[in-house]
Structure 1
Amino acid sequence: MSREQRARIDAMLRRSGGDGPRSVEELRAGFRALMAGMIVPPGIRTRDEVLGDRRAVRVEPDDDPKAGTILYFHGGGNVFGSPETALCLTANLVVRTGFRAFSLDYRLAPEHPFPAAIDDALSAYRALLDGGEDPSAIAFAGDSAGGGLTVTACLAARDAGLPLPAAIMAFSPGLDHTRSGESMRTKEGIDPIFTRAAVRYTGSLYLAGRDPHHPLLSPAVLADLSGFPPMLLQVGTNELLLDDSTRLAARARDAGVDVILDVTADAPHVFQAYVGVLDEAGQALDRAAFFLGQHVRAVETARTPAP
């Protein structure tokens, strides 16, 4: 990572944060403005569909997609964001894998606090299965709060007795509403996006008074990950949420789950969104796409009868 690239992004993110607390509408508008500047690659087409009872944006290559589906959950602290704000990430995964993706417009807090987002994610996954999708051809992916949703939706699917997806891939996932990770303290001021106060504020909107000591709210410290599919967690060292990923990876390892913890030095939260501006963003997306394609294809190949 060049120092110049990192410094430019760091400065831009600090400017975009503003001063003092902001209303929910200000947070939503600010995030839309920030993400509107991200680069969406050519070579895709999009259209709105419905999964479960929620809107989802279908993103697929201009050419015929390969067999495989990414169910994508956008970031935004469970309070802001949309499939449109995550399009740079979803589209880059689609272009790199050749798979199609469905980016879910799940319900947001404070209007719809926990567990609305998880319920919507589970409903969307059911819809894919009911539509004839093989779970071995589905991967969950997401960023930030949506990265956390990849894990909690998988927990909910397992608890509901559903077959689990082929893989989970998460960019800078939020996985601990207890906010007990050491990085919540050590990365304060280093993280150019979040402060502890800001993270606790948006978290409180999602919790709506619920005790955060629940596996679906703090899987990094409380979830039983037994039987989970292979996981890839990508995170930067300049993140308050760094330890959400490191601790979940340790839990996954202890549960016998294949897990890759992919840590990029001096990178901010969801640095993959800065593809075309930050060298490491494209490299991380390449690794993510390889992981997704490797696991989906491996399962499909195993199902193919030998000649």
Structure 2
Amino acid sequence: MDSNTQEYVDIPLRLKTKESIFGRLQNINFISRCVIDSIFNYYWHGPTTTSQNLRFHIIKNVLQKYLAESLPHDLPNELSEKIDFEYISEYIAMNNPPSRMLTSDVGQNREFDICVDPEIITRYSLERYGLSGDKLVAMAEEDLGYAKNGQARTISCQIVIGANITRENSDTSSLLSPDPLNPNEKVILFFHGGAYCVGERSLTHLYVYANVSSTTGLRVFSPNYRLAPKYCFPSQLHDCLLAYNTMLSLGFKPENIIISGDSAGGSLAVSLVLILKEMSMPFPAGLVLLSPWVDSTCSGASWNTNQKLDYLPTLSFEDPFHPTRMFYAAGRRFDKTMFEELKCPLISPVFGDLAGMPSMLIQLGNNELLRDDICGFSEKVKQQNSDEPNLVKLEVYPDMPHVFVLLHFAPAAQMAFASIGKFVKSIWK
């Protein structure tokens, strides 16, 4: 055996590990058992959230089982270097949460590959962010090197329009084109969530985008950043800045762009603004943050108090498959040094200098594990921008889990979409 060949440990995996009839049956069995258990518990023990119906509980419980059991979370920290995370990345992609294509009564979407002009690849100057800044500098230099060799980067992007827009336009071809409809078109740039690991091609969020588009009357652009654990930090943040700069190069004005994001995407949105601030680059008009994962150290008390209420599992940092670890440094052992590195504001924006931020709407569920982290972030933004008392609008929805707008049919989700529409329109009054 080649002495340079890495030896990996075998990982017990519950979902399909290759495309085959057996693998599909394995997944059908996994989901079916989740559904049957959900129905039984709903009628025998009663709903955990009395304000929501059976469909809500089934989807919530399937998500909970998927996140808790699709990867084994009992492996010791010492095995971190012996896990083939490229293989794990393929496994996660193969078993992404199911997505539905949009129906015409909800909206339309089209996917584009946009070639990135080498001139917009940012040469970072982020000394205050230490190691994280250095990683971004190296990543930009690598991209520039590829560009010089004729290997141009592309950004794959979903463009989504809601049913309210399609009803007013018989010809949607221009609406589903990446070019501005007019010199002052206002749009939403939305970074999808998924713990930086799931959400391939943004397909899991199409119904969210369509509802946001309908209530705001704007087109939604959602770039597909590279996913962990195959690509670790700061790949996702670099890709999001490329997407923002690409929007500007296409002719969209920064003051006509609202950046939105849910969960990990919400963190990327805030981190992107911190970079723009540090480098004196133009700001977007505002931020819409849905359950933003602003603290990768997961320090809030609600990570314990809401354990039985949310579909997110509470995991130990000793677990090699903790989402934070897979995002930041897959395959590296966890220690105190890593924990301190996670406090960099480009990874956990709650630890950053949040003065001078644009107007923002923050929505979250009262039952989610991230509740206290998000509320702490909101309070810090308010404190550091005390001269602008209306800068932050915080909305906490009773009985709702993490990123509850994914359950777009729920009354609370429809209320949240309507509020997003009002907030966005208020930006440009």
TM-score (norm 1): 0.86
Partner-residue secondary structure (3-state), 1:32: coil
2:192 matched to 1:71? no
**What's the CA shift for 1:29?**
4.0
Q: 1:263 to 1:15 in 2, by over 3 A?
A: same
% identical equivalent positions: 30
Match of 1:166 among 282, 285, 308: 285
2:181 matched to 1:181? no
Q: Distance in 2 between matches of 1:191 and 1:111?
A: 27
Q: Distance in 2 between matches of 1:8 and 1:42?
A: 22
Partner residue in 1 for 2:405:
272
**What's the CA shift for 1:281?**
0.8
Partner residue in 2 for 1:36:
100
Which residues of 2 match residues 1-307 of structure 1 at below 5 A? 2-4=51-53, 7-17=57-67, 19=69, 21-22=71-72, 23-33=88-98, 35-36=99-100, 42-50=106-114, 52=116, 53-60=154-161, 61-62=165-166, 63=168, 67-82=185-200, 83-197=202-316, 201-208=322-329, 210=338, 211-220=341-350, 222-256=351-385, 258-276=391-409, 278-295=410-427, 297-298=428-429
Q: 1:89 to 1:3 in 2, by over 3 A?
A: closer
Higher mean C-alpha deviation, range 237-246 or range 189-198: 189-198
CA RMSD of aligned residues (A): 2.5
Which amino acid in structure 1 is aligned with residue 96 of structure 2?
Answer: F
Q: Distance in 1 between matches of 2:298 and 2:412?
A: 27
Which amino acid in structure 1 is aligned with residue 324 of structure 2?
Answer: G
> Are the equivalent residues in 2 in contact too, given 1:51–1:124 (CA < 8 A)?
no
Q: Deviations along 1:95-142, whole A, 9 cap, x unmatched?
A: 211111210100111222111111111111112223322211100011
> Are the equivalent residues in 2 in contact too, given 1:144–1:172 (CA < 8 A)?
yes
Q: Deviations along 1:27-71, whole A, 9 cap, x unmatched?
A: 4444332x4399885243424142743111122343456831111
Q: Distance in 2 between matches of 1:194 and 1:25?
A: 22
Q: Distance in 2 between matches of 1:80 and 1:3?
A: 26
Which amino acid in structure 1 is aligned with residue 363 of structure 2?
Answer: Q
Q: Distance in 1 between matches of 2:320 and 2:400?
A: 18
Q: Distance in 2 between matches of 1:32 and 1:58?
A: 21
> Are the equivalent residues in 2 in contact too, given 1:70–1:102 (CA < 8 A)?
yes
Higher mean C-alpha deviation, range 283-292 or range 208-217: 208-217
> Are the equivalent residues in 1 in contact too, given 2:216–2:424 (CA < 8 A)?
yes
> Are the equivalent residues in 1 in contact too, given 2:363–2:394 (CA < 8 A)?
yes
Partner-residue secondary structure (3-state), 1:164: coil
TM-score (norm 2): 0.63
Which amino acid in structure 2 is aligned with residue 59 of structure 1?
Answer: V
> Are the equivalent residues in 2 in contact too, given 1:188–1:196 (CA < 8 A)?
no
Partner-residue secondary structure (3-state), 2:417: helix
> Are the equivalent residues in 2 in contact too, given 1:38–1:274 (CA < 8 A)?
no
> Are the equivalent residues in 2 in contact too, given 1:173–1:244 (CA < 8 A)?
no
Which amino acid in structure 1 is aligned with residue 195 of structure 2?
Answer: G
Partner residue in 2 for 1:305:
none
Unaligned runs of 5+ in 2: 1-49, 73-87, 117-153, 170-174, 176-180, 333-337
Q: Distance in 2 between matches of 1:294 and 1:128?
A: 22
Structure number, greater radius of gyration: 2
> Are the equivalent residues in 1 in contact too, given 2:109–2:158 (CA < 8 A)?
no
Q: Deviations along 1:227-259, whole A, 9 cap, x unmatched?
A: 111111111111111122101101110121500
Partner-residue secondary structure (3-state), 1:108: coil
Q: 1:69 to 1:157 in 2, by over 3 A?
A: same
Q: Distance in 2 between matches of 1:194 and 1:39?
A: 32
Partner residue in 2 for 1:303:
none
Q: Distance in 2 between matches of 1:68 and 1:284?
A: 20
Q: Distance in 2 between matches of 1:161 and 1:96?
A: 32
Q: Deviations along 1:189-228, whole A, 9 cap, x unmatched?
A: 32223323489711101111551020111112x1111111
Partner-residue secondary structure (3-state), 2:158: strand
Q: Distance in 1 between matches of 2:365 and 2:111?
A: 32
Q: Distance in 1 between matches of 2:407 and 2:101?
A: 9
Which amino acid in structure 2 is aligned with residue 216 of structure 1?
Answer: L
Q: 1:108 to 1:20 in 2, by over 3 A?
A: closer
Q: 1:28 to 1:207 in 2, by over 3 A?
A: same
Q: Distance in 1 between matches of 2:360 and 2:320?
A: 25
Unaligned runs of 5+ in 1: 299-307
